[in-house]
């Protein structure tokens, strides 16, 4: 591992997204998810990647049986210290750890005497022995042994001597890192700093790590407090994934360490400024793997992190980004966004049009009327912040013109659940569409898993001269939001389309009380957008 240049100290990054993060409500990684996420963490420059708990569940066991190839990072397996009163070889849980392929093993060791009694039901002395023997067994097996002191801060407050004794037992047994964990997440920054400093003073030769949670929304601050106190390994997860309120968020910690003083000058990590540019991608990739919408307001990487809505802000940012941005969005692979929204001023609209390459004079009165149109449609439930393609279509229709390629005269979608000939209960979805292209009527029918899919199939089945283009389109995601709730709800549909030729993706929006209508509108926008960007001439 590279060491600090020009007097900087090396700070180590330990990611536990695949282990502690897997405890998150609704998170369920497949073995393949884990492999792909580990590879991205490796590319980012993480030092340790905790992959899971071999033996605890089939996914984790399979992951370690066939581990990813890592170029920078070291793969870590997580497990418990051996049970008291058993030899390491005679503890199946511990054996599973040693059977895993991991070059490093992170042991969780209880360091709060109350838990030793309540959860383990053994004596404090037996627990110290278990910590020492388990650590030694890992080292004897030629692996790196890290020890997580569970509940360290609560344990320290309840019984300082014993908490320190646990850390010392691990250190004396040869653990490479003693990681102090705020398992319940209730410790506040000033306490974390004080306690870590005391441990560093008591165990001067030990290398300390800090592992915090976000239960008081201080997960990140507690991590930096730990570093202030002397910790040189920070543990956390991507996007702050983790049980309850999540773990310390590495996605926020890493850019602060890399870009901001005093950390930038004091420390060096495996994340170079070049690698930092992949952070936004890695963060969004994780959300994709979890099939969840990224947190727009996430620090550094959120789509809103550098979004400017208020008119004053927008004009100032355009004069000089420093006026409203503490770091440059490009540094973490994110981008500035000047919002087209209900609060948008002329400057936002103009900036968007420029980004889209739509030429217009700043004083053109149509800019004002376009703004009014955006506001009118947003009041109906449209949202263009997530639907660039629909915004571009509307803007071009308003400012230049978009050919009218085809006209859908009518459609009918039918979903039927009935018993089929074999007496099985089946559900079929069928759609018929009547399209008029250059005067000729085309009637198409399509089947699908559901009404929208059937409509999409029917619509793209025969678009005559445009067929070659629509065949390149793939409906990759479909989001539905009910805007007012209840039976009078208005439904907003966002459709993500993939152009299989160019690999471009775009988003279109549709709004209607009827989900099928809303979907239809978004589908039509998507097809029209494709034809427009291919400069197809209307027939």
Residues 401-440 that bind a second copy (CB under 8 A): 408-419, 427, 429
- List Cβ<8 Å contacts ≥24 apart for 332-335: 332/255, 332/259, 332/276, 332/277, 332/279, 332/280, 332/300, 332/301, 333/276, 333/277, 333/278, 333/279, 333/280, 333/281, 334/280, 334/300, 334/301, 334/302, 334/305, 334/306, 335/306
Instruction: Please work out the total of residues on this chain that contact a second copy, with binding judged by CB under 8 A.
Output: 111
Q: Which is nearer to a second copy, 135 or 252 (CB)?
A: 252
Select from 252, 280, 283, 508 the one that contacts a second copy (CB under 8 A): 252
Q: Least distance to a second copy from the beta carbon of 191, Å?
A: 9
**Cα–Cα distance, 188 to 213 (Å, whole number):** 11
Q: In 36-55, which positions are buried (b, 16+ CB within 10 angstroms) versus exposed (e)? A: bbbbbbbbbbbbbbbbbbbb
14 binds a second copy (CB under 8 A): no
Q: Which is nearer to a second copy, 325 or 364 (CB)?
A: 325
Q: Which is nearer to a second copy, 438 or 514 (CB)?
A: 514
Q: Least distance to a second copy from the beta carbon of 142, Å?
A: 29
443 binds a second copy (CB under 8 A): no
Q: Least distance to a second copy from the beta carbon of 291, Å?
A: 6
**Cα–Cα distance, 289 to 372 (Å, whole number):** 38
DSSP symbol at 294: -
**Cα–Cα distance, 234 to 232 (Å, whole number):** 7
Q: Which is nearer to a second copy, 148 or 456 (CB)?
A: 456
Backbone angles phi, psi at 334, to 5 degrees: -100, 180
Q: Least distance to a second copy from the beta carbon of 537, Å?
A: 27
**Cα–Cα distance, 415 to 274 (Å, whole number):** 52
- Reduced to 3 states, what is the DSSP secondary structure of residue 438? coil
Q: Sketch the per residue contact string, 487 through 516, with a second copy: x for CB under 8 A, - otherwise.
A: xxx-x--------------------xxxxx
Q: Sketch the per residue contact string, 356 through 395, with a second copy: x for CB under 8 A, - otherwise.
A: ----------------------x----x-x----------
478 binds a second copy (CB under 8 A): yes
> What does the H/E/C string look like for 358-425?
CCCCCCCHHHHHHHHHHHHHHHHCCCCCCCHHHHHHHHHHHHCCCCCCCEEEEEEEEEEEEECCCCCE
Per CB under 8 A, contacts with a second copy among 309-328 are 309-310, 312-313, 316, 319-320, 323-327
Q: How many CB atoms within 10 Å of residue 144?
A: 18
Per CB under 8 A, contacts with a second copy among 37-66 are none
- Reduced to 3 states, what is the DSSP secondary structure of residue 469? helix
Q: Least distance to a second copy from the beta carbon of 218, Å?
A: 5
Q: Which is nearer to a second copy, 23 or 61 (CB)?
A: 23
Select from 364, 472, 517, 534 the one that contacts a second copy (CB under 8 A): 517
Q: Which is nearer to a second copy, 73 or 457 (CB)?
A: 457
**Cα–Cα distance, 341 to 336 (Å, whole number):** 15
107 binds a second copy (CB under 8 A): no
Please name the residue that has the structure tokens 């629509």: 470
Select from 484, 500, 502, 504 the one that contacts a second copy (CB under 8 A): 484
Per CB under 8 A, contacts with a second copy among 337-356 are 339, 341-343
- What's the token pair of residue 217? 């929304």
99 binds a second copy (CB under 8 A): no
Candidates 4-12, 38-46, 304-312, 363-371 — which segment interacts with a second copy by CB under 8 A?
304-312
Select from 485, 503, 535, 537 the one that contacts a second copy (CB under 8 A): 485
Q: Which is nearer to a second copy, 108 or 203 (CB)?
A: 108
477 binds a second copy (CB under 8 A): yes
- Reduced to 3 states, what is the DSSP secondary structure of residue 344? coil
185 binds a second copy (CB under 8 A): yes
CA within 13 Å, CB half, 320: 2
Q: Which is nearer to a second copy, 206 or 327 (CB)?
A: 327
DSSP annotation string for 163-186: HHHHHHHHHHTT-SEEEEE-TTS-
Q: Which is nearer to a second copy, 269 or 512 (CB)?
A: 512
Select from 308, 398, 460, 530 the one that contacts a second copy (CB under 8 A): 308
Per CB under 8 A, contacts with a second copy among 263-292 are 291
Q: Are 71 and 44 spatial neighbours (Cβ–Cβ below 8 Å)? A: no
Between the alpha carbon of residue 22 and those of residues 51, 60, 127, 211, the distances in Å are: 10, 10, 27, 16
476 binds a second copy (CB under 8 A): yes
Candidates 182-190, 438-446, 501-509, 531-539 — which segment interacts with a second copy by CB under 8 A?
182-190
**Cα–Cα distance, 112 to 186 (Å, whole number):** 15
Q: Least distance to a second copy from the beta carbon of 253, Å?
A: 8
Per CB under 8 A, contacts with a second copy among 121-180 are none
Longest Cα–Cα distance of the chain, Å, equals 89
189 binds a second copy (CB under 8 A): yes
Q: Which is nearer to a second copy, 171 or 336 (CB)?
A: 336
């Amino acid at each position: 591992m590279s060491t600090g240049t020009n007097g900087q100290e090396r700070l180590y990054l330990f990611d536990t997204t695949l282990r502690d993060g897997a405890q998150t409500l609704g998170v369920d990684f497949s073995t393949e998810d884990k492999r792909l996420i580990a590879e991205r963490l490796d590319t980012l420059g993480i030092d340790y990647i905790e992959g899971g708990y071999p033996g605890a569940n089939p996914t984790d066991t399979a992951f370690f049986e066939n581990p990813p190839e890592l170029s920078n990072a070291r793969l870590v397996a997580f497990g418990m210290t051996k049970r008291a009163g058993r030899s390491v070889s005679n503890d199946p849980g511990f054996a599973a750890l040693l059977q895993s392929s991991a070059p490093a093993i992170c042991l969780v060791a209880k360091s709060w005497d109350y838990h030793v009694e309540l959860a383990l039901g053994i004596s404090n002395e037996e627990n110290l022995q278990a910590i020492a023997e388990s650590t030694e067994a890992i080292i004897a097996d030629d692996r790196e042994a890290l020890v997580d002191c569970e509940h360290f801060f609560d344990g320290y407050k309840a019984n300082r001597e014993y908490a320190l004794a646990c850390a010392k037992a691990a250190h004396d047994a040869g653990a490479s890192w003693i990681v102090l964990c705020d398992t319940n997440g209730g410790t506040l920054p000033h306490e974390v700093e004080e306690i870590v400093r005391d441990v560093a003073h008591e165990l001067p030769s030990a290398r300390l790590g800090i592992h915090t949670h976000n239960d008081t929304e201080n997960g990140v601050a507690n991590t930096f407090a730990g570093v202030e106190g002397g910790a040189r390994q920070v543990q956390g997860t991507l996007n702050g994934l983790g049980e309850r309120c999540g773990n310390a968020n590495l996605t926020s910690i890493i850019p602060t360490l890399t870009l901001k003083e005093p950390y930038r000058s004091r420390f060096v990590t495996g994340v170079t400024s070049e690698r930092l540019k992949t952070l936004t991608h890695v963060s969004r990739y994780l959300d994709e793997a979890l099939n969840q919408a990224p947190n727009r307001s996430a620090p550094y990487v959120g789509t809103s992190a550098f979004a400017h809505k208020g008119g004053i802000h927008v004009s100032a940012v355009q004069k000089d980004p420093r006026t409203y941005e503490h770091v440059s969005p490009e540094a973490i692979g994110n981008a500035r966004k000047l919002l087209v929204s209900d609060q948008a001023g002329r400057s936002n609209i103009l900036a968007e049009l420029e980004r889209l390459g739509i030429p217009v004079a700043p004083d053109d009165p149509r800019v004002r009327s376009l703004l009014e149109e955006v506001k009118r449609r947003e009041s109906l439930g449209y949202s263009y912040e997530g639907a660039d393609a629909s915004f571009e279509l509307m803007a071009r229709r308003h400012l230049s013109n978009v050919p009218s390629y085809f006209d859908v005269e009518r459609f009918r979608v039918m979903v039927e659940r009935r018993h089929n000939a074999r007496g099985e209960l089946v559900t079929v979805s069928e759609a018929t569409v009547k399209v008029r292209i250059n005067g000729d009527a085309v009637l198409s029918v399509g089947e699908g898993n559901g009404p929208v899919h059937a409509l999409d199939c029917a619509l793209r089945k025969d678009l005559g001269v445009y067929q070659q283009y629509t065949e390149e389109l793939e409906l990759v995601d479909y989001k539905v939001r009910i805007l007012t709730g209840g039976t009078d709800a208005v439904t907003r549909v966002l459709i993500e389309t993939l152009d299989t030729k160019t690999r471009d993706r775009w988003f279109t929006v549709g709004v209607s009380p009827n989900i099928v209508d809303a979907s239809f509108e978004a589908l039509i926008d998507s097809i029209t957008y494709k034809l427009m960007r291919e400069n197809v001439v209307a027939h």
